[in-house]
Amino acid sequence: MSADLEISETAFWVNEVRARNEALSGDIYAKLWASRKNEAIWREYDQQLSGDHYEFYFGIRSRYFLSLLQSSLAAHPDLVFVNVGCGLSNYAFLAEGLSKSIEIDFPNVVQFKREKTLEWQKQGLLPPRHIVYLSANLNEADQRQTLLEKLRVEIAGKPAFILMEGITYFLDHNCLTALFELFAQVQTRDCRLAFDFFDPIRGADPPSARFRSFLETRIGWSRDAYNFFEPAELVRMTQKYYKIEERSNILEKQNEFLKKPVLSPENVAAASYACLKRL
């Protein structure tokens, strides 16, 4: 086995797992992105990490963020959805009545996503939507500045829900702080910013450590390269612009989305979730 995958390829895996339990993830389009290669990766993954509940991990995460998007849309019919580190997630299609989505990722990811999406829309496999694709390496200051200018134009003062799903730990700490400041400049009062994150203590739990070890062999990411931060640091980074609407974690959220709780710190990476509101 070699480190032959890139970070962006993690976006395929996530859909593979969402598709395995549509009832939980609520993502009826994830299966479109399925491929033999990803199935093979997940088989390998299952063998190495058997017993770790990643179907629930990704299913609950998606379901939670989808519920936030839907309630934001119910509150603001003219909502603009901004999907940062969008990968191949399908929220733009899952939220009925969404007037505009902005998808942001590395250039190769958004180009691939745009092409496939257009193809599937032509075939009637995806519903029509107004989607704007923007590319940036979010770790680069000049690219963030360009992104800010484009977001100003595209959001144009409308209410915006900004999602960062599965990406905070891949970004440099200073860049993440800069991104929070950037988002604050394009969001209006009471608009939501939601993301998942790991604090260093939770990130050290055995399932998280196993997952990082797997990623190290598959994408060459050093086990120490992740950006984990404590809840107190989350407050420090954001309090100038945002208040915390909800802070939770996967173990709490399973009670909302699973009939019977199955997750424990022994069998799932204990991801935390934050939903902030613009002051």
Ligand X SMILES: C[S@@+](CC[C@H](N)C(=O)[O-])C[C@H]1O[C@@H](n2cnc3c(N)ncnc32)[C@H](O)[C@@H]1O
- Please tell me whether residue 244 adopts helix, strand or coil conformation: strand
Strands 160-164 and 192-197, how do they pair?
parallel
Candidates 10, 38, 101, 117; binder of ligand X (CB under 6 A) is 10
What is the closest distance, in whole angstroms, from the C-beta atom of residue 232 to ligand X in the complex? Answer: 25
Distance CA 252, CA 175 (A): 29
Q: If binding is defined by CB under 6 A, does position 16 make contact with ligand X?
A: no
Per-residue x/- track, 97-116, ligand X (CB under 6 A) = --------xx--x-------
Q: If binding is defined by CB under 6 A, does position 275 make contact with ligand X?
A: no
Q: If binding is defined by CB under 6 A, does position 85 make contact with ligand X?
A: yes
Task: Using the minimum distance from each CB to ligand X, give the nearer residue, 8 or 67.
Answer: 8
Window contacting ligand X (CB under 6 A); options: 79-87, 187-195, 203-211, 225-233? 79-87
Q: How far is CA 29 from CA 25, 51, 91, 127, in A?
A: 10, 26, 9, 10
Per-residue x/- track, 153-172, ligand X (CB under 6 A) = ------------xxx--xx-
Task: Using the minimum distance from each CB to ligand X, give the nearer residue, 211 or 243.
Answer: 211
**74 is written with which tokens?**
């119910």
The 10 Å CB-count burial string (b at 16+, else e) for 178-212 is bbbebbbebbeeebbbbbbbbbeebbebebbeebb
Task: Using the minimum distance from each CB to ligand X, give the nearer residue, 106 or 242.
Answer: 106
Phi, psi of 82 (to 5 degrees): -115, 115
Per-residue x/- track, 168-207, ligand X (CB under 6 A) = --xx------------------------------------
Task: Using the minimum distance from each CB to ligand X, give the nearer residue, 72 or 89.
Answer: 89
Distance CA 32, CA 199 (A): 33
Q: If binding is defined by CB under 6 A, does position 87 make contact with ligand X?
A: yes
**102 is written with which tokens?**
């902005």
Q: If binding is defined by CB under 6 A, does position 95 make contact with ligand X?
A: no
Which has the closest alpha carbon to 208: 54, 103, 3, 83?
Answer: 54
Q: Where are the alpha helices (DSSP H) in 49-140?
A: 54-75, 91-94, 107-122
Site residues (vs ligand X, CB under 6 A): 7-8, 10-11, 14, 85-87, 89, 105-106, 109, 136-139, 165-167, 170-171
